[in-house]
Structures are given as structure tokens and as C-alpha cells.
Structure 1
Amino acid sequence: MRSSIRIAGLAAACALAGGVVYGTGAASADHPNGNTTAEPHNIGELVNEIKSYYGATQDADGVWQAAPDSAYADDMARVTAKAERSIDKAAKVSKGHGGHGKKPAVVFDIDDTLLLSLDYEIKTNYTYNSASWADYVAKADRPAVPGTPELVRYAARKGVTVFYNSGLKESQRAGAVENLKKVGIDVNLDAGHLFLKDTANPPAYLSDCATAAAWNCTTVQYKSGTRHHIESLGYDIVGNFGDQYSDLQGGYADKTFKFPNPTYFVE
């Protein structure tokens, strides 16, 4: 997930929400200076709004969960319903030999696209730390993003090949696979379909930005380069799914589907 620069913490979220341009000098809503347009969104209010959006409540084990009747769940239901219609149409076109000889495929990000990290974000006050994140991923106990196990299985039933394209590290593969299986996503979890970031031994198709000596790929370069590789294997990516715009940019997909995530931003 945190595969490049991550705008972490609530202060950054407030800056994005409030449309603020930061600069030197003090300013307020009543006395803006030349470097600001308005007072930023209040951090305490933003925290409450995020929790309300997810309908966030703690279960018996103290784990923060998204409520099935939340605005977040409603938004996810709308996106997944649209995606199912698109997948169904693409599958029918392919069976009718309208796919130009290429096999239809879908590509999913993992973090907050398939596996929900809400508990981590709330308990760390929306501040990323590589060590605590690694521990969290290794526990392999994240819940599914609402509706996504069904969406993955729907694509597979329609004859659309499922791939995964994640910013998780290669060293986190075991935890990712275990967690996906736990939530009912047990489709194509082999290394040929689940692509993770291998900075020590980057694949040849990323040679423009990564070598064994140095990894210089941005999120967009890594993700789009991987999609390009998938398409070079004879697939047509009919749907690309992610919670970050950087998951979706760079081409090599007929359609993109943005899942909601107001808790962090990855460039």
C-alpha cells in the first residue's frame, strides 16, 4: 500500500479537504494572508466524519470494523454493482469473439481495495509507520472491503482472469495470501497472478525505473508497468480496481474503478 510517498496523518488530510495552500506566516479564517485561502478543516471534526462515514465500531476484540449499513458500505455497493455489469458485458464480448483474441482480465489492488485497514488507521491516528504496518500485515487478520470477495468470485465465474497488483512487499506475500483466503478471496493467489513489489529483484519489465541496485519506480510506474506486462501475456484488462488514483493511472486498462478511502493518500 505505502509504495511511494504517502501523505500521512490527519494534518495532510485536512489540507486536502480544506484546499489549503500552506506557506510561512500565521493566518486564520478571519485574517487570511497571501499564502492561504481558508482555515483548514478541523482535525477533530475530520476524525469524527471519517468514523461516521465507515460507521466505525469496535467488535468484542476491540477491532474497528466498518458497519454494513454505513455510507461507506453503500458507496462500495454502488461501485461493485457497476463493476459486475461491466465484467458481465466484457465476458459476453469475449465469448462472442469480440475481444481481438485477447483473454479478459481484471486487476485488483489489495490494501483497502480488498482488505480493509481501518483498524490500523484509527489506532495509529492515521499515521503510517513501516514497522507497525509490517506487523499488522503479518497478522493476516484484516476484514474484507465490503462486497469484494463476491466481486472477485463473480469475475472468475464469468471466465475473466483475476490478477492482483499490490504495493505490498514481496516479503509480505505469505501474510497477504493468508489474509485473502481468510476473507474468501481464494482465486489465483499464485505468484503468476499476484504481483508484489520486489525491490531486491525487480522484474525485467520494470527496468526503466528499477534495478537490483536501485528502485526508483513511482506508484504509477510500478502499477502501470505491471499492467502492461499482464497485457503482454495476451490479456485485455477490462477492469482495474484500486482505492488510490495512483492505482489506476498510467493506462493499460479499458475501465478503472475507484473505491472510496478517505484515510490516506498515496502519490
Structure 2
Amino acid sequence: MRKTLRVAGLATACTVAGAALYATGVASAGQQAEHRPTKEPHNIGLLVGEIDAYYGAVKGADGVWKSSPDSPYAKDLARIQAKAKKDIKKAAERAHHGHGGHGGKPAIVLDVDDTALLSFDYEKSVNYTYDNDSWDAYVKAAKRPAVFGMPELVKYAKKRGVEVFFLTGLAETQREGAVTNLARAGYDTRLDRAHVYTKDKKNPPSYLKHCATAAAWNCTTVQFKEGTRKHIESTGYDIVGSFGDQVSDLAGGYADKTYKLPNPTYFVG
């Protein structure tokens, strides 16, 4: 399950690299009056059009919405990935010469939804709304394409001796769909339980005991991902790069560098 504020529900939307940021500011039950907008928010219809243009939205003959490889979205990804590859190369060279950041084997951690696998078709098909059942079916269908350039980045890291982990807010019941999809999308790396971490609310790991038990899951996205990165490092790794499309994917530390990928379609707190 993704805790999201969708575009159709007057969500916060953002692009990257100097693109405009639009916030509707419509207060939820827990927000204070001072957070409400003082002027008319950006028009939803226009915003959806801008998102389509950003992705270079194209509907294929199979009815699937796709992003164009020459879109602003793809170009923003390429810039981020180019910087990440330089950093990975330097970190791998330091580790090879015994100068790793924390003395552990270098590793990178990737979020799954819209970091490794693109969900744009789902967003378009449901008009930027969200429903547990439709999302669950979509994930389990395991047909999402890879986010442009990310399988290549993983291959680049592995070639330099950098271990690869996936850390996702997808439920444990969605693990099989996610793992199958990652393999189909070209992620040629280990996808076992030691390398793919999902959100297991029924049997939370002991390293999350500060916020989760079998009786109650109280971990925020940040706590869940921070705690899991801390656990990965405790097993002998130095996370030299953490990749995500949400700020909450990256907050909390336990990574030498973070890389925020663009995603203007939803917000995860």
C-alpha cells in the first residue's frame, strides 16, 4: 500500500532540474489552517497536461501508456544517473584500495516503484487516483517496464564489485510480483530475500522493533527505510548510494550519497 496524495485528489506534484513545483495546499484533517493556500492553486487539468508532456506520454497499440526515451523525464534521469555512475566508480575504487567510507563492502540501495519499475501506465489508467485492489493487481501482473537507465546503472555497479539491494514499501504479499517484474525488466542481479526488502507487517524484522511488532505496525516510511538501511550496513556493507523517487525513500541517513529521481505523479510521506 502506498500512502499517497494523488493529483486527482489535489496532490503535491513536482518535477526536477528547475521544473515548477505546484502545491495545492488543500488541508487534510491533520493540517493546520496556516498551511492552507492564500491564492488559487494550479489548475489540475493543466497540471495533468504538463505531466504528460514531461513524460512524453505515448499510448501504444497494446493500450499501455509509456514514457518516451527522448522526453524531459528521460533526460533528467540520464543526468542523475551519469552523476551517480561517477560517484559509484570513485566509491568502488576507494573500497578496492582499502579506503571505503565505513570499511564495508560497497553497496547501493534502490526503491522499486518509479525508481526501478515505472508505474506511469497505472497512474494514467486510473487518472492519478489510487485504489488498493487495482494497485495490488497491477503489481502482481509484473508487467511494468524498467525506469529508463536503471538496469544499466545496476549492471555498472555490479561490474565494479558493488552489491545491489532493493528496498520497497510494497507489501510482503506483493514480493513475488515485484521480484518477477524486476527480473523481466532486465535487473540481472540477486533478487532473493537477502537483497529485496519488502514491508512485512505481519512478521516485522527485529531491527524494526522500535516501531513495529506483530501486533502493531507503527513505522513511517522514513523509519522503515532508515531502519532497513541501517540493518544492511550492520551486515558488513557501506551504502555508497541510495536511490528513490520520494524524499521519504532517502531520509534518515545510512547512505553516503542520495539520488532523488523525478516523479510528479504522487507523493509518499
> What TM-score do you get using the length of structure 1 for normalisation?
0.92
Please give the secondary structure, in 2, of the residue aligned with 1:46.
helix
Give the percent of matched residue pairs that are identical in Structure 1 and Structure 2: 59
Q: Which residue of 2 aligns with 1:220?
A: 222
- Rg larger for: 1
Q: Which residue of 1 aligns with 2:168?
A: 166
Q: Which residue of 2 aligns with 1:8?
A: 6
**In the alignment, is residue 180 of structure 1 matched against residue 178 of structure 2?**
no
Q: Which residue of 2 aligns with 1:66?
A: 67
- Following the alignment from structure 1 to structure 2, what is the Cα–Cα distance between the partners of residues 143 and 248? 23
Distance 1:168 1:22, change over 3 A: closer
Q: Which residue of 1 aligns with 2:123?
A: 121
Shift of 1:20: 4.7
Shift of 1:12: 2.6
**In the alignment, is residue 243 of structure 1 matched against residue 245 of structure 2?**
yes
Shift of 1:13: 2.6
Q: Which residue of 2 aligns with 1:47?
A: 48
Q: Which amino acid aligns with 1:73?
A: A
Contact 1:15 1:40 in 2 (8 A): no
Please give the secondary structure, in 1, of the residue aligned with 2:11.
helix
Shift of 1:22: 4.2
Q: Which residue of 2 aligns with 1:149?
A: 151
- Following the alignment from structure 2 to structure 1, what is the Cα–Cα distance between the partners of residues 181 and 25? 40
Q: How many residues matched?
A: 255
Please give the secondary structure, in 2, of the residue aligned with 1:7.
strand
- Give a deviation string over 1:112-153, Cα, whole Å, max 9, x none: 001000000011111111100000001100011000000011
- Aligned residue among 111, 114, 117 for 1:112: 114
Shift of 1:38: 1.4
Q: Which residue of 2 aligns with 1:76?
A: 77
- Give a deviation string over 1:196-222, Cα, whole Å, max 9, x none: 010000000000000000100000000
- Following the alignment from structure 2 to structure 1, what is the Cα–Cα distance between the partners of residues 181 and 107? 22
- Following the alignment from structure 2 to structure 1, what is the Cα–Cα distance between the partners of residues 36 and 145? 42
Please give the secondary structure, in 2, of the residue aligned with 1:44.
helix
Superposed CA RMSD: 1.6
Shift of 1:227: 0.1
Contact 1:239 1:256 in 2 (8 A): yes
Stretches of structure 1 lacking an aligned partner (at least 5 in a row):
24-33
Q: Which residue of 1 aligns with 2:86?
A: 85
More divergent stretch after superposition (175-184 vs 12-21): 12-21
- Give a deviation string over 1:17-61, Cα, whole Å, max 9, x none: 4445447xxxxxxxxxx9532111111100100000000001110
Stretches of structure 2 lacking an aligned partner (at least 5 in a row):
15-20, 28-34
